[in-house]
Amino acid sequence: MLLSLGTGMSLQYVKGQSHDWGYAQWVKPLINLMLDGTAGIADYQCRQILDARYHRLAPVFPPEITVPMDDVKKIPYMIEFAESVPIESTIAWLNEYWSAT
């Protein structure tokens, strides 16, 4: 069994009308997107291998909110956000799978 707790996900996309950029303009957006993608790969693999014995609590920030990992000024917001996340499905999973062992 595996319970995976995420710190919150920011929905990201590359802003702008025209993306006829050179290498320098694409570097930062691509790095951010690739780093976010690795978490999705691990989640997918765990779901495939463990099936119902895997549960991930990974709240998604509202679309207008981006929280960089090193932005300590956003900690109060993150605490408030974490306290508002519904956890009923996680508790139900824990009761069904964790308590059963």
- How many of the other CB atoms lie within 10 Å of CB of 93? 19
Give CA–CA dist 47/41, Å, rounded.
10
Per-residue pLDDT tens digits for 45-76: 999 999 999 999 999 888 888 787 788 998 99
pTM over 0.75: no
Tokens found for residue 75: 């900690």
pLDDT for 30: 81
Residue spans per domain, the chain:
2-98
User: What pLDDT shows up at residue 72?
Assistant: 92
pLDDT attached to residue 101: 62
Radius of gyration over every alpha carbon of the chain, rounded to an integer in angstroms: 17
For residue 9, what are the contacts with CB-CB under 8 A and spacing of at least 6?
A: 36, 39, 58, 59, 60, 61
